[in-house]
Amino acid sequence: MAQQLLMPKATAVWLVDNTALSFDQIAQFCKLHPLEIKAIADGESAQGIKGLDPIQTGQLSREEIERGEADNTHKLKLSEPKVRVPEQKKKGPRYTPVSKRQDRPNAILWLVRNHPELKDAQISRLVGTTKSTIEQIRNRTHWNSANLQAMDPVTLGLCSQIDLDFEVGKAAKDRTAAHAGGGEGDTLAPASETESGYGSSSANEDEEIDAAAVFAKLSSMKRSDDSDEDEDEGR
Protein backbone atom coordinates (compact mmCIF):
# COMPACT_ATOMS: atom_id res chain seq x y z
CA MET A 1 0.00 0.00 0.00
CA ALA A 2 1.36 3.45 -0.98
CA GLN A 3 2.45 5.65 1.88
CA GLN A 4 -0.02 8.45 2.50
CA LEU A 5 -0.01 11.60 4.62
CA LEU A 6 -2.47 11.48 7.49
CA MET A 7 -4.82 14.46 7.98
CA PRO A 8 -3.34 16.69 5.25
CA LYS A 9 -5.35 19.82 6.15
CA ALA A 10 -4.45 19.64 9.82
CA THR A 11 -0.81 19.08 8.83
CA ALA A 12 -0.95 22.08 6.49
CA VAL A 13 -2.31 24.25 9.32
CA TRP A 14 0.62 23.25 11.53
CA LEU A 15 3.22 23.84 8.81
CA VAL A 16 1.79 27.28 8.02
CA ASP A 17 1.86 28.29 11.70
CA ASN A 18 5.20 26.77 12.69
CA THR A 19 7.56 26.82 9.70
CA ALA A 20 8.94 29.18 7.06
CA LEU A 21 8.12 26.80 4.20
CA SER A 22 6.60 28.31 1.06
CA PHE A 23 2.96 27.81 0.14
CA ASP A 24 4.03 25.69 -2.86
CA GLN A 25 6.14 23.39 -0.66
CA ILE A 26 3.32 22.87 1.84
CA ALA A 27 0.80 22.35 -0.97
CA GLN A 28 3.02 19.75 -2.65
CA PHE A 29 3.59 17.88 0.59
CA CYS A 30 -0.06 17.94 1.72
CA LYS A 31 -1.49 17.34 -1.79
CA LEU A 32 -3.47 20.59 -1.65
CA HIS A 33 -3.68 23.62 -3.95
CA PRO A 34 -1.34 26.57 -3.18
CA LEU A 35 -4.35 28.91 -3.09
CA GLU A 36 -5.88 26.74 -0.38
CA ILE A 37 -2.65 27.04 1.65
CA LYS A 38 -2.79 30.81 1.19
CA ALA A 39 -6.39 30.83 2.41
CA ILE A 40 -5.32 28.87 5.50
CA ALA A 41 -2.56 31.44 6.16
CA ASP A 42 -5.05 34.31 5.74
CA GLY A 43 -7.52 32.66 8.12
CA GLU A 44 -10.12 32.20 5.39
CA SER A 45 -10.01 28.38 5.37
CA ALA A 46 -9.70 25.47 7.80
CA GLN A 47 -11.14 27.49 10.66
CA GLY A 48 -11.63 25.28 13.69
CA ILE A 49 -9.10 22.69 12.49
CA LYS A 50 -6.36 22.05 15.03
CA GLY A 51 -2.87 21.78 13.55
CA LEU A 52 -1.26 18.33 13.54
CA ASP A 53 2.51 18.17 14.12
CA PRO A 54 3.94 15.83 11.43
CA ILE A 55 7.17 15.48 13.42
CA GLN A 56 5.32 13.95 16.38
CA THR A 57 3.42 11.59 14.08
CA GLY A 58 6.70 10.50 12.49
CA GLN A 59 5.71 11.60 8.99
CA LEU A 60 8.26 14.40 8.63
CA SER A 61 11.64 15.02 10.23
CA ARG A 62 12.95 18.31 11.60
CA GLU A 63 15.95 18.00 9.28
CA GLU A 64 13.66 17.68 6.24
CA ILE A 65 11.78 20.85 7.26
CA GLU A 66 15.07 22.74 7.70
CA ARG A 67 16.22 21.65 4.24
CA GLY A 68 12.96 22.96 2.81
CA GLU A 69 13.27 26.27 4.65
CA ALA A 70 16.80 26.74 3.30
CA ASP A 71 15.84 25.88 -0.29
CA ASN A 72 12.34 26.79 -1.48
CA THR A 73 12.73 24.47 -4.49
CA HIS A 74 13.20 21.45 -2.22
CA LYS A 75 10.27 19.03 -2.21
CA LEU A 76 9.46 17.58 1.20
CA LYS A 77 9.45 13.81 1.50
CA LEU A 78 7.51 11.65 3.91
CA SER A 79 9.57 9.81 6.48
CA GLU A 80 9.61 6.04 6.27
CA PRO A 81 7.07 4.64 8.73
CA LYS A 82 8.53 2.81 11.70
CA VAL A 83 5.49 0.55 11.97
CA ARG A 84 3.60 -1.01 9.10
CA VAL A 85 -0.16 -0.75 9.65
CA PRO A 86 -2.17 -3.44 7.86
CA GLU A 87 -4.69 -2.14 5.37
CA GLN A 88 -8.16 -1.77 6.86
CA LYS A 89 -10.90 -3.74 5.21
CA LYS A 90 -14.27 -2.15 4.56
CA LYS A 91 -16.57 -1.77 6.40
CA GLY A 92 -19.75 -2.00 8.37
CA PRO A 93 -21.60 0.85 10.05
CA ARG A 94 -19.25 3.24 11.83
CA TYR A 95 -18.95 2.47 15.55
CA THR A 96 -18.51 5.42 17.88
CA PRO A 97 -17.04 4.68 21.32
CA VAL A 98 -19.33 5.46 24.24
CA SER A 99 -16.87 8.04 25.56
CA LYS A 100 -17.15 10.08 22.35
CA ARG A 101 -20.87 9.81 21.67
CA GLN A 102 -21.62 12.95 23.65
CA ASP A 103 -19.45 14.89 21.19
CA ARG A 104 -21.45 13.88 18.12
CA PRO A 105 -23.99 16.77 18.27
CA ASN A 106 -21.11 19.27 18.36
CA ALA A 107 -19.53 17.56 15.38
CA ILE A 108 -22.83 17.54 13.47
CA LEU A 109 -23.25 21.28 14.13
CA TRP A 110 -19.74 21.91 12.77
CA LEU A 111 -20.45 19.90 9.61
CA VAL A 112 -23.80 21.60 9.02
CA ARG A 113 -22.23 25.06 9.36
CA ASN A 114 -18.97 24.49 7.49
CA HIS A 115 -20.09 22.03 4.83
CA PRO A 116 -23.78 22.68 4.02
CA GLU A 117 -23.31 20.75 0.76
CA LEU A 118 -23.08 17.46 2.69
CA LYS A 119 -26.17 15.26 2.62
CA ASP A 120 -27.61 13.74 5.79
CA ALA A 121 -26.44 10.29 4.72
CA GLN A 122 -22.86 11.56 4.37
CA ILE A 123 -22.91 13.19 7.81
CA SER A 124 -24.31 9.97 9.23
CA ARG A 125 -21.45 7.98 7.71
CA LEU A 126 -18.85 10.38 9.07
CA VAL A 127 -19.93 10.57 12.72
CA GLY A 128 -22.24 7.57 13.11
CA THR A 129 -25.50 9.37 13.85
CA THR A 130 -29.12 9.23 12.75
CA LYS A 131 -31.05 11.33 10.27
CA SER A 132 -33.49 12.53 12.91
CA THR A 133 -30.65 13.88 15.07
CA ILE A 134 -29.19 15.76 12.08
CA GLU A 135 -32.60 17.29 11.29
CA GLN A 136 -33.05 18.38 14.91
CA ILE A 137 -29.68 20.13 14.89
CA ARG A 138 -30.36 21.74 11.50
CA ASN A 139 -33.74 23.03 12.73
CA ARG A 140 -32.45 23.96 16.22
CA THR A 141 -34.98 21.64 17.86
CA HIS A 142 -32.38 19.41 19.51
CA TRP A 143 -32.92 19.14 23.26
CA ASN A 144 -29.44 20.56 23.96
CA SER A 145 -29.26 23.17 21.17
CA ALA A 146 -28.51 26.06 23.53
CA ASN A 147 -25.32 24.39 24.78
CA LEU A 148 -23.94 22.96 21.53
CA GLN A 149 -20.58 24.20 20.23
CA ALA A 150 -19.41 23.52 16.68
CA MET A 151 -16.33 21.29 16.84
CA ASP A 152 -14.32 19.63 14.08
CA PRO A 153 -15.16 15.89 14.00
CA VAL A 154 -11.56 15.11 12.99
CA THR A 155 -10.23 16.84 16.10
CA LEU A 156 -12.81 14.99 18.20
CA GLY A 157 -11.64 11.70 16.72
CA LEU A 158 -15.04 10.83 15.25
CA CYS A 159 -13.73 10.50 11.70
CA SER A 160 -10.47 10.85 9.77
CA GLN A 161 -9.48 13.84 7.64
CA ILE A 162 -9.30 11.50 4.66
CA ASP A 163 -12.92 10.41 5.11
CA LEU A 164 -14.05 14.02 5.58
CA ASP A 165 -12.21 15.22 2.46
CA PHE A 166 -13.65 12.33 0.47
CA GLU A 167 -17.26 13.11 1.43
CA VAL A 168 -16.80 16.86 0.84
CA GLY A 169 -15.27 16.21 -2.59
CA LYS A 170 -18.09 13.84 -3.49
CA ALA A 171 -20.73 16.38 -2.45
CA ALA A 172 -19.01 19.09 -4.51
CA LYS A 173 -19.00 16.86 -7.61
CA ASP A 174 -22.69 16.01 -7.15
CA ARG A 175 -23.58 19.69 -6.81
CA THR A 176 -21.57 20.60 -9.94
CA ALA A 177 -23.27 17.83 -11.92
CA ALA A 178 -26.70 19.01 -10.76
CA HIS A 179 -26.00 22.58 -11.91
CA ALA A 180 -24.66 21.35 -15.25
CA GLY A 181 -27.87 19.36 -15.87
CA GLY A 182 -30.07 22.45 -16.20
CA GLY A 183 -30.10 24.23 -19.58
CA GLU A 184 -31.72 27.25 -21.14
CA GLY A 185 -33.91 25.01 -23.24
CA ASP A 186 -35.71 23.86 -20.11
CA THR A 187 -37.15 27.32 -19.31
CA LEU A 188 -40.42 28.78 -20.53
CA ALA A 189 -40.56 31.99 -22.53
CA PRO A 190 -41.41 35.08 -20.42
CA ALA A 191 -45.04 36.12 -20.32
CA SER A 192 -44.10 39.54 -21.69
CA GLU A 193 -42.84 37.93 -24.90
CA THR A 194 -45.97 35.88 -25.43
CA GLU A 195 -48.24 38.81 -24.60
CA SER A 196 -46.34 41.18 -26.90
CA GLY A 197 -46.58 38.63 -29.70
CA TYR A 198 -50.33 38.35 -29.20
CA GLY A 199 -50.77 42.12 -29.22
CA SER A 200 -48.71 42.61 -32.36
CA SER A 201 -50.74 40.04 -34.31
CA SER A 202 -53.96 41.87 -33.38
CA ALA A 203 -52.44 45.16 -34.50
CA ASN A 204 -51.46 43.62 -37.85
CA GLU A 205 -55.02 42.37 -38.38
CA ASP A 206 -56.39 45.86 -37.63
CA GLU A 207 -53.94 47.37 -40.10
CA GLU A 208 -55.05 44.89 -42.79
CA ILE A 209 -58.72 45.75 -42.17
CA ASP A 210 -58.08 49.48 -42.32
CA ALA A 211 -56.06 49.16 -45.53
CA ALA A 212 -58.85 47.19 -47.20
CA ALA A 213 -61.38 49.84 -46.23
CA VAL A 214 -59.19 52.61 -47.63
CA PHE A 215 -58.69 50.81 -50.97
CA ALA A 216 -62.43 50.17 -51.23
CA LYS A 217 -63.17 53.82 -50.64
CA LEU A 218 -60.60 54.88 -53.22
CA SER A 219 -62.09 52.50 -55.76
CA SER A 220 -65.58 53.88 -55.23
CA MET A 221 -64.29 57.44 -55.59
CA LYS A 222 -62.53 56.52 -58.81
CA ARG A 223 -65.70 54.96 -60.25
CA SER A 224 -67.60 58.11 -59.31
CA ASP A 225 -65.06 60.30 -61.11
CA ASP A 226 -65.21 58.11 -64.21
CA SER A 227 -69.01 58.34 -64.38
CA ASP A 228 -68.83 62.13 -64.06
CA GLU A 229 -66.38 62.32 -66.98
CA ASP A 230 -68.70 60.14 -69.12
CA GLU A 231 -71.60 62.46 -68.45
CA ASP A 232 -69.55 65.53 -69.44
CA GLU A 233 -68.52 63.93 -72.73
CA GLY A 234 -72.13 63.07 -73.50
CA ARG A 235 -73.08 66.68 -73.15
| Residues 66, 117 within the same domain | no
Residues 105 and 173 in one domain: yes
**Whole domain around residue 153: which residue ranges?**
98-177
Residue 231 forms part of a structural domain: no
Residue 201 has pLDDT above 50, yes or no: no
Q: Per-residue pLDDT averaged across 108-134, rounded?
A: 92
The pLDDT value given to residue 82: 63
33 falls within a domain: yes
Domain end marker among 153, 177, 201:
177
The Cβ of residue 7 has, within 10 Å, a number of other Cβ atoms equal to 24
Find the DSSP H helices in the chain: 8-18, 23-30, 34-41, 62-70, 104-114, 120-127, 131-138, 153-156, 161-181, 191-234
Question: How far, in Å, CA of 36 to CA of 165, rounded?
Answer: 13
pTM for this entry: 0.40
Domain boundary among 70, 90, 111: 70
Residue 199 pLDDT: 47
Q: CA-CA distance, 205 to 214, in Å (whole number)? A: 14
Give the model confidence (pLDDT) of 41-93 as tens digits.
Answer: 998 887 788 889 999 888 899 999 999 999 989 999 988 766 555 555 545 45
Q: With 60 as the cut, is the pLDDT of residue 207 above it? A: no
Residue 203, domain member (yes or no): no
One-letter amino acid identity for 82? K
- The whole-angstrom separation of Cα 143 and Cα 136 is 8
Task: Calculate mean pLDDT across residues 19-29.
Answer: 93
pLDDT cut 70: percent of the chain above it: 66
- Per the structure, how many domains does the chain have? 2
Per-residue pLDDT, averaged over 210-225, amounts to 60
Q: Are 152 and 106 in contact (CB under 8 A)?
A: no
Helix (H, G, I), strand (E, B) or coil at 183: coil
How many CA atoms are closer than 13 Å to the CA of 74, on its beta-carbon side?
15
Give yes or no for residue 178 having a pLDDT over 80.
no
Query: E-assigned strands of 49-111?
Result: none
Inside any domain, residue 107: yes
Q: How much is the pLDDT for 63?
A: 93
Residue 205 has pLDDT above 90, yes or no: no
Q: Residue 30 domain-assigned?
A: yes
**93 or 157, which is more confident:** 157
What phi-psi label fits residue 48: left (phi over 0), alpha (psi between -120 and 50 degrees) or beta? Answer: left
Shared domain for 108 and 49, answered yes or no, is: no
55 domain-assigned: yes
Examine residue 211 and state whether it is found in any structural domain, yes or no.
Answer: no
pLDDT of residue 21: 93
Residues 123 and 65 both lie in one domain: no
